[in-house]
Structure 1
Amino acid sequence: MNAEAVLGIDLGTSVVKAGIYGFDGAMHASASCPLTLSHSGPGRAEQDLDDFYEAAAAASRVCLAGGYAPERIGAVAMVGQMAGVGIVDKDHRPLAAFDSWLDTRCGDVADELSRTLGDRITATAGCAPTISIGPKMLWWRRHRPDVCRDAASFVTAAGYVAGRATATVGRSAFIDPSYLHFTSVADVGRAAWDEALVDAVGVDPDLLPRIVESAEIVGTLTDRAAADFGLRPGVPVAAGCGDTAASALGAGAARAGQAFDIAGTAAVFGVCLPVFAPDASDGTLMTMRAALPGRWYSLAYVGGAGQVVEWVCREVLGHASVDPDAYADLAAAASSVPPGSDGVMVSPHFSGRVAPVSPSMRGSIVGLSAVTGRAHLARAALEAIAFEYRRYADIARGAAPDVAVTEIIGTGGGSRLDVWNQIKADVLATPYRPVVGAESGTRGAAMVAMAAIGQELPELEPSAYGPVARPDPATTAAYAAATESYQRWSARWAAGYRSESALTEHHGTGDTI
């Protein structure tokens, strides 16, 4: 039987998703499997690399359980969470738990690199040092030299799963260009390691994985992996890419000037650019290479934004579980409050701010009055993400002034909240078009797999998009002042938490890691 479909697997933070897609782009089957995130101490957020593999295999088997013939699958691609890092030995076995993107242990390293090499790193790697792969690699070299002595390479979560499935060993570990901005030691414009920057930062060059294109075939499924995934041995496996790059590709945000919003555990906003244009002046945005050559994304994200929304549902609106009823209540509450939430503002950085980096920053609320109710807090939390996005969009326009932002394509669970889509459209003065008929992460992974075997990439059908939220000029004008006020408060919050953190460390009462 000839191959006529591919398997795309998306390794997230709380769940692994899998989808079978025909060469026409239609999804034939989907499945998911939960993951565990452990917090073993202050600042720690870790996952088991083998759990990623087992969850990916389980999701694949469920996809095929409906009767889809394994022989029809022509290729597989894994995509995954981006700012975390794992470490493996010469046999590609994990030497430690996966250091999640939510783990803040490397915060002091990121601050140090920002002070000493920030401008150089931003100009070359396209991203100011933050809580991500580069500072994490340096943290491991400094704090766990015993682990690094036995190591062969650092790996991404998706790179580990693909490597285990294809019997990758030793120095064959790989990373694709979509992750490189997070490494602090790469030339993202050339998709290569910058040897001078590697030396200046202090990362061990012997532990850097080889760089391969997202659609490069890195191997084929071993007999064991084929049995695990329910597929036939010898199926080609593409290198894959980061989940943000996959979601942008899968949602159809691939033309210059299109923006995307991934409203998930992290709230990610990016603008597609035809050139590598790092944010050298502000140091807030990251410039990510797209999954396929010829495009870059100027982006930033609010870490844990989805958790903030869940917190509102549970702790503010009183829902025991975060289910469709909770989200319906959230939408109703937010819709009952006027734009600007009567002056109430929320800092959504419950676990530190990523862009620009401020690990000590936490959640805050200002503007409370005698008339403030739960609905004000609900709307203010949603508006906070939109205010962050507005700053990102303004900086992107400055970095690439010839590229006009024409529309925002929304994906992720949060894009199903119509009131939130309208808030974003009004705050950013840009039409917002949600993807409702496709799972962009696994679809993007599937498109990488198609590219790996030479298939033409399909476009999303118009029916996959939901109703467009168009900005209301009067509301946009009102939000302009609220955005400026939010930015001033944001600067105060960052400075205040930074000062408190320094005082705590000085008095020796802070957390130790």
Structure 2
Amino acid sequence: MAVDLGTSFIKSGLYDISGQCIAEAMEPVRDERPGPGIFIQKGEDLFASVLACMKQACARAENTGGTVEAIAFTGQMSGFMGVDKNWNDITTWSCSLDSRYMPYAKEQMELHKEEFLKTGGTNFPQMAPKYIWFKEEFPEESKKIKKYLMISGYVIGKLGKLDIDQAVMDTSYASWTGLADMNKGVWSEKICGSIGLEDKYLPRMVSSDYICGSLSEEYAKLTGLKSGIPLVAGAGDKVSGCLGAAIVEPGDSIFEASSYGEISCCVEEYRPDMEERRLDVLAAAIPGLYYATHFAAGSGITLDWAVNTFVRGPEENLKDAFIRADHMAAEVSPGCSGMMAVGLLGGSSMPLDGNLKGVFMGFDWSHGTGHFYRSLLESFSYDFSLALDRVRILYPEYKWDCMKMTGGGAKSKLWPQICADITGITHTTLDRNDVSMWGASILAGHAVGIFPDMKETAKQFVNDRRDFEAKHDMDEVYEKQKRIYREYTEIMGGFCEKLSASCVRSAVL
């Protein structure tokens, strides 16, 4: 069984040894948004959704609950939770959408920016500033906390009724905490010491195939499973997805065209991008490997917004609206006749610029809806291509001549071709849409000896669907546009900041 701990939904799936999902279920996760920048998800609500989802999956696969051999976890990789000695939620689960910690993050970045990237592997940590935020803003509550965790560690501890000292976090989550030494795979004494966090409050760091405990009798009865099933650490959704998509050899790469689009390039060591700061690093589920990674915050959310706002008709479903947007954009020539977008509506994460917002520029009366939509597709492709350029410089020993593509964007007949043309390399879509869940299932099977070789298992059960080869007749146009995109993203943050400040002053007046 794989359990995916998402922001909006919990998903669970039962897989057989041939890689087929024989039953799946999904449960919404309740959240509270009492004010601007506040996004609260209570641990008890999350856990209730997990139990309901596991129970549903078992019910849909009749008479299989007793044959589940292991359970592994995947899901959101960026957040923070503090619990007491009895696993009671003290802080609530604070994911990346909960921005109350931002003033503390900015202060930490001024002090520890270089160390966070050089040692911790990230341009913008989550757990490190959220620890300070909660300690300063809620001092009495923070005294009750015994462990700071990721959401998967909380769920595993509850399902297995573990002692609090048995709390774990698998290494795939370590980077975005900002607290780890990524080359050594341990908590960084230097970083933790600099913010006053004792390591006794941190979970034990373990491998993704580590068996953390076993399903308790109480929760076995509630879910329809047998008690004693091994609970396997699993990996964050980005890393688990790389395993499920067979991105398991140095030189492999993938573009996950999802809500938070991301490229991940498999490498054998971490080399920080101190010059341009376009890359983070994630520890792979397979020991000894890493992913040099770059994500565009909210890229898929921006495309949803564009289609819903400018394309979708009153009675039209979203899928049909996306297809129509693709058709309109396909009629537009590469480079959008001199028009360009910056699609980073939520700011730039790599390199970090929270002031940057969305921009359409260079348009006149000749530009239509197709131009605007295509310009967004091109903008994200420029962004990822600039990151891939840094990967090529930092890791010249690999060819980087092909990139797999998954996620909602891979369903488009246009965007993979744009990506191929702008990066200059073939983009290949896959025949699986469940790579994160399947990756977690591989980890579960490996932990109990069903899949002895994770690499071979991953390669065996995913196939290429379609190749989009780069068309080099537009290289000159796209290279010029990419340079312009880079120049504008470097300077536009300041203009956007002035606009925001002007709006704030107007609101006050």
Calculate the TM-score normalised by the size of structure 2: 0.93
Q: How many percent of aligned residue pairs carry the same amino acid?
A: 25
Cα separation, partners in 2 of 1:463 and 1:159, compared to 1, 3 Å: closer
In the TM superposition, 1:122-141 aligns within 5 A as 122-130=117-125, 132-141=126-135
Segments of 5+ residues of structure 2 without an aligned counterpart are none
The reply to whether residue 390 of structure 1 matches residue 385 of structure 2 is: yes
1: CA distance, partners of 2:462 / 2:211: 32
Q: Distance in 1 between matches of 2:317 and 2:141?
A: 39
Once residues 503 and 323 of structure 2 are traced to their aligned partners in structure 1, the CA distance between those partners, rounded to angstroms, is 41
Spell out the pairing of 1:295-310 with structure 2 (5 A cutoff): 295-310=289-304
- After superposition, the CA RMSD in angstroms is 2.2
Q: How do residues 494-509 of structure 1 correspond to structure 2 at under 5 angstroms? A: 494-499=493-498
CA distance in 2, matches of 1:201, 1:508: 38
Task: Give the corresponding residue for 2:216.
Answer: 222
Instruction: Indicate if the aligned counterparts of 2:76 and 2:236 stay in contact, CA closer than 8 A.
Output: yes
State which of 230, 234, 258 in structure 2 corresponds to 1:236: 230
User: In the aligned structure 1, how far is the partner of 2:249 from the partner of 2:313?
Assistant: 40
Tell me which residue corresponds to 2:485: 486
Does the CA contact (< 8 Å) of 1:360 and 1:498 recur in 2?
yes
- In 2, the alpha carbon distance for the partners of 1:353 and 1:36 equals 28
Question: Given residue 472 of structure 1, which amino acid in structure 2 is its aligned partner?
Answer: K
For residues 37 and 347 of structure 1, the distance between their equivalents in structure 2, rounded to whole angstroms, comes to 30
Aligned to 1:4: none
Partner of 2:96: 101
Shift of 1:461: 4.9
Whether the 8 Å contact between 1:349 and 1:362 is mirrored in structure 2 is yes
Segments of structure 1 that go 5 or more residues without pairing to the other structure are 1-6
In 1, Cα distance between the equivalents of 2:379 and 2:467?
21
Q: Given the alignment of the two structures, is residue 472 of structure 1 paired with residue 475 of structure 2, yes or no?
A: no
Distance 1:38 1:464 in 2: 41
Deviates more, 1:28-37 or 1:118-127: 28-37
Q: Report the 3-state secondary structure (helix = DSSP H, G, I; strand = E; otherwise coil) of the residue aligned with 1:467.
A: strand
Q: 1:448 aligns with which of 443, 451, 455?
A: 443
> For residue 171 of structure 1, what is the aligned residue in structure 2?
165
Match of 2:423 among 428, 431, 441: 428
SS in 2 for 1:32: strand
Which residue does the alignment assign to 2:365?
370
Distance 1:60 1:122, change over 3 A: same
Q: CA deviation at 1:74?
A: 0.5
Q: 1:157 to 1:275 in 2, by over 3 A?
A: same
The residue aligned with 2:153 is: 159
Q: 1:82 aligns with which of 77, 81, 86?
A: 77
**Partner deviation per Cα, 1:131-150 (whole Å, 9 max, x = no partner):** x2222222222222222111
Q: Secondary structure at the match of 1:244?
A: helix
Cα distance per residue 1:486-513 (max 9 Å; x no partner) = 11111122232345567888x7979xxx
SS in 2 for 1:240: coil
2:312 to 305, 313, 318: 318
Residue 211 of structure 1: aligned partner: 205
Cα separation, partners in 2 of 1:155 and 1:192, compared to 1, 3 Å? same
Aligned residue in 2 for 1:358: 353
Equivalent residue letter for 1:367: G
Map 1:404-419 → 2, pairs under 5 A: 404-419=399-414
Q: TM-score when scaled to structure 1?
A: 0.92
Residue type of the alignment partner of 1:356: P
State the one-letter code of the partner of 1:249: L
* Structure 1 range deviating more: 324-333 or 34-43: 34-43
In 1: Cα distance, 2:189 partner to 2:16 partner: 42
How far, CA to CA, are the matches of 2:150 and 2:462 in structure 1?
Answer: 34
Q: Deviations over 1:245-304 (max 9, x none)?
A: 001111111111111111222111111101122222222211110012011000021121
Moved over 6 A (4+): 502-505, 507-510
Residues 254 and 403 in structure 2, CA contact (< 8 A), matched pair in contact too = yes
- Assess, with a 3 A threshold, how the Cα gap between structure 1 residues 133 and 119 changes in structure 2: closer, same or farther: same
Distance, in Å, in 2 between the alignment partners of 1:43 and 1:83 is 16
**What amino acid maps onto 1:408 in structure 2?**
M
Superposed CA deviations along residues 433-463 of structure 1, whole A, max 9, x for unmatched, are 1123341010011111112112223134577
**Is it true that 1:288 corresponds to 2:279 in the alignment?**
no
How far is 1:403 from its partner?
Answer: 2.3
> Which segment is superposed worse, 98-107 or 282-291?
98-107
Deviation for aligned residue 1:28: 2.2
Tell me the equivalent position of 2:109: 114
Kindly provide the amino acid, as one letter, of the partner of residue 496 in structure 1: F
Aligned to 1:399: 394
**Separation in 1, partners of 2:447, 2:471:** 43
Deviations 1:371-416 (A, max 9, x none): 1211111111111211111111111222222222132111212211
Work out whether 1:194 is the aligned partner of 2:188: yes
Find the residue that maps to 2:107 and give its secondary structure.
helix
- Separation in 1, partners of 2:485, 2:401: 24
Judge which range, 233-242 or 488-497, deviates more: 488-497
User: Quick one: structure 1 residues 361 and 23, their matched pair in 2 at CA, closer, same or farther if it must change by over 3 Å?
Assistant: same
Q: Give the whole-Å Cα distance in 2 for the aligned partners of 1:429 and 1:469.
A: 11
CA contact (8 A) 2:121 2:282 kept: yes
Equivalent position of 1:246 in the other structure? 240
Pair 1:360–1:40, CA change in 2 (3 A): farther
Aligned letter for 1:91? N
Could you tell me how far apart the structure 1 residues matched to 2:386 and 2:507 are? 35
Is residue 142 of structure 1 aligned with residue 141 of structure 2? no
CA–CA separation in structure 2 for the residues paired with 1:415 and 1:439: 13
1:315-350 Cα offsets, whole Å, 9 max, x none, are 010345763212211211221211122232222222
